[in-house]
Amino acid sequence: EYEIKLIATDNDGTTSSTSTILKVQPFSFAIITDLHIGWGIPDYNSEGYNDQDEGQDYYMTERLKMVVKWINENYEKQNIKFVVVDGDISDTAEYSEFLKTREILNQLEIPYIPLIGNHDIWPNTQKLTTDPDGIVGRWNTIKEKRKEGEPLGDEYFEIIFWRENAINTQKIKNLFDSFERQEEHKEHQGPPYFQNYSFSYGGTTFIALDFNARDYKELIPIGCTTIRVWDETLKWLEEKLKENQENKILVFVHQPFVFTTPLFPVSLFWVSLDREELEKITEIFNKYCNTEKVDCKIYSFAGHTHRNHISKLEIPADDVIETEALLQSPPNVSSGNFLRIIQITGNNSTEIEYNIFVSGFPKSINPFITTNKEEITVDKKVKFFVHTKNLFPEDVLSYVLKFDENYQIECNREKEKCEIKELGFHNIKEASCKIQEILCVQGVCFPNNIHPKCEVKYSAPGNYKISLKVIPKENKEYSEEISWYFKIKEKAKPFWKILFSNPNVVPLLNGEKNIDLTQEENSQNTTEWVVFLMKFSSPGTLIGSFQTHFDEATSDVNFSSLIADTNAKSGKSTLYMPEWPKEVERSKILFIPKK
C-alpha cells in the first residue's frame, strides 16, 4: 500500500494537505489447454464435420463449465485479468466443436485469448471401431476427412472466435489498450487465418505464435510432427520484440519450444522441433532481448504434451512451461492440475510465479464406447465395448448403457451382474452384456477382468442414440456420461473375415485388441486398417499395417501364405506374401522394434 499526499501552500504561507491510500496488487492470468471438446464422440453433434450448430453436452463440456465457474467465482479476489486457452480447443476440428466451446467460454466474465492447436486444423470424423487416440497416433481413426477445396479448421476458428464473437472481442478491447492480430494487418501477405497476436498489460508483453502445420501429411499420419516454423510467424515475433523491448516477455505457443535428440530426449515423442528450427527463433530473441541495453527473460507457455513440465533450456526461451490437458489423457501424465494460475508480481524479469494450480476438481474417468463394426445392419449382432481411459475396471462401481431410449442395461461390477430395464416400446431384438470374460492362452483358461462387452441386435433401421454413464467407487455422487448417434441400415454388402492361422500373430481391426478379424463375428464390409500384432509378448508388439478393401471382396480375404514377424534383437519386422490379395492396398506400414 502506498500513501499519496498532496500539500498546497497559498501566498500567505498557509498549508493544507490531503492524502489517499493506493493499493498496488500483482495481477494474474489463467491458462487452460488441450480442451479437446468432442473427444470420445466419433462424429460430434449432427452428421459431418461442417455441422454448424452447437454440439451436445457431455463430460468434457461439463469439465470446461466447472473451470469457467471457478474462474468467475474467484477472478476478483485473485486479480485474474484474462484466460489463455493454449490450443487444441477442438478434438477433430468439427465446426460444432468450436461452436460449443465458444458457447461455454463466452460465459467467462473476463476475456479469454484463444490459441489454435494442431487438432484445430484438419476437420474430420472418426470411426466407431477405434480408440479416439488411435494406435500410436490418429492415422487409423479417421472415417471422413476434409476434402480438397473445403475450409481448414483455421478458417472455422477465425470465424467463430474472432469475426462472429463480439461478446469476447469487446471484453478484449475493454481490457487491453492495444491488442493486435497479424491477420488484421493490411500489410499481411502470408497465408490467411494465421493466429498470431500481441498485447501488453501491466508492463509485460505477451506474444502468441502459430507454428501449426497446415498440410495433412504434417498433421495426421504416423510419425508427423504437426509443426511448421512459418516465416510469417517469425516475422511477427521479430516485429513485436522490436516494438516492445520490455524486461519480461511471455510467449504463448501450442507446441512447446523443446527439441528431441537421442542424447537429449527432453520432450515427449510427438514434439520434434529440430535444433536448427529452434535456433532461428533463438536468434530473433537474442537480437532484441540479450543486448547491451536490454536483458530480457523469456517465458514460453505451451500445451500439446498434455503434461505439467518445466524445461530450463535457454534455447530459445529461459523457461518452457507446459500445462496439463483439460482432457486429462493419457492418464499416466495427468495429475488433475489442469488449471494453472500465473501471477505477475512486479516489473522485474524474475517477478513471476507460474506454479500455482487450482485443485479440487473431480477425478476424471473419460469413458467412451467402440464397436466391432463400422456398418451396422438390421438383424445382425453388433458388439459394443465399454472403456474408461482414466479408470481401471476394478475402480468402477457401475455402468449404465442405453441402446434405445427405452432400453437400458445397468452393470454392477461388485455384483458382476448386468440387469436389463425395458422402459417402453423399443427396437432391440436381442441384447446382453457381460462384465467378465474367460481368456484362454495355450489351453490354460482364467478370468480376464475387463469393462463390459455388450452384444445387441436391432429390429428396425434408423438413427439410434447410445449412451454410457460410469460411476466410480471412490465418489458415488459423481459420474461421467457420453452419448452419440449411429445408423442401423436395412441391408448391407456381405461381410468378410480374414483367413490366417499363425498362433503367434493376430490381425486386428485398427489395432484394437478386442477385434480379431479371423473371427466370423468381426467380419467387415468396408475399407479398414488391418494391424498385425505379435500376440504372445507383453505388451503385444506391432508388426505392420495396411488398408484392406473388404467392400471389394467376394470371399474371405486369404492371408494364409503371409509371413509376419518382428524381432527386437535384430531390429527387424517382416510382412511378406508371394502375391498379395487384390483387396490390399499397395502401400504398407512396418513398425520397426528398437534393438
Lowest mean pLDDT among 88-97, 290-299, 470-479, 568-577: 290-299
Nearest partner of 259 among 218, 314, 206, judged by Cα: 314
Q: What is the mean pLDDT of the chain?
A: 89
pTM over 0.75: yes
- DSSP count for the chain of H helices, then E strands: 7, 36
Question: Nearest 5°: phi and psi at 452?
Answer: -60, 145
pLDDT score, position 437? 63
SS3 category, 336: coil
The full set of domains in the chain, from first to last, is: 27-357 (3.60.21.10), 365-492 (2.60.40.10), 493-595 (no CATH)
Cα 446 from Cα 527, distance rounded (Å) = 35
Grid cell at residue 579: 502375391
What phi-psi label fits residue 571: left (phi over 0), alpha (psi between -120 and 50 degrees) or beta? left
Cα 207 from Cα 471, distance rounded (Å) = 42
Grid cell at residue 72: 468467475
Q: Which residues pair with 417 in a beta bridge?
A: 412
Q: Which residues pair with 545 in a beta bridge?
A: 531, 589
pLDDT score, position 261? 45
Greater pLDDT, 265 or 18? 18
Nearest partner of 169 among 154, 155, 189, 184, judged by Cα: 184
DSSP-assigned letter for residue 31:
E
Nearest partner of 123 among 83, 153, 149, 99, judged by Cα: 153
The sign one gets for the Cα dihedral 115, 121, 125, 128 is: negative
pLDDT score, position 137? 77
pLDDT score, position 69? 98
Residue type, 352: I
Structure confidence by residue, pLDDT tens digits, 118-154 = 999 999 999 999 999 987 778 889 999 999 999 999 9
Q: Which of the four pLDDT bands, split at 50, 70 and 90, describes residue 111?
A: very high
577 CB neighbour count, 10 Å cutoff: 14
pLDDT score, position 271? 53
Q: Which of the four pLDDT bands, split at 50, 70 and 90, describes residue 210?
A: very high
DSSP 478-521: --EEEEEEEEEES--PPPB-EE---TTEEEEETT-TT-BTTSGG
pLDDT at 268 over 60: no
Structure confidence by residue, pLDDT tens digits, 396-449 = 999 999 998 899 999 998 888 899 999 999 999 999 998 876 555 555 555 556
Give the CA dihedral 563, 564, 567, 571, nearest 10 degrees: 90
Mean predicted confidence (pLDDT) in 568-583:
94
Grid cell at residue 31: 491458462
The answer to whether 2 touches 87, Cβ cutoff 8 Å, is no
Residue type, 530: V
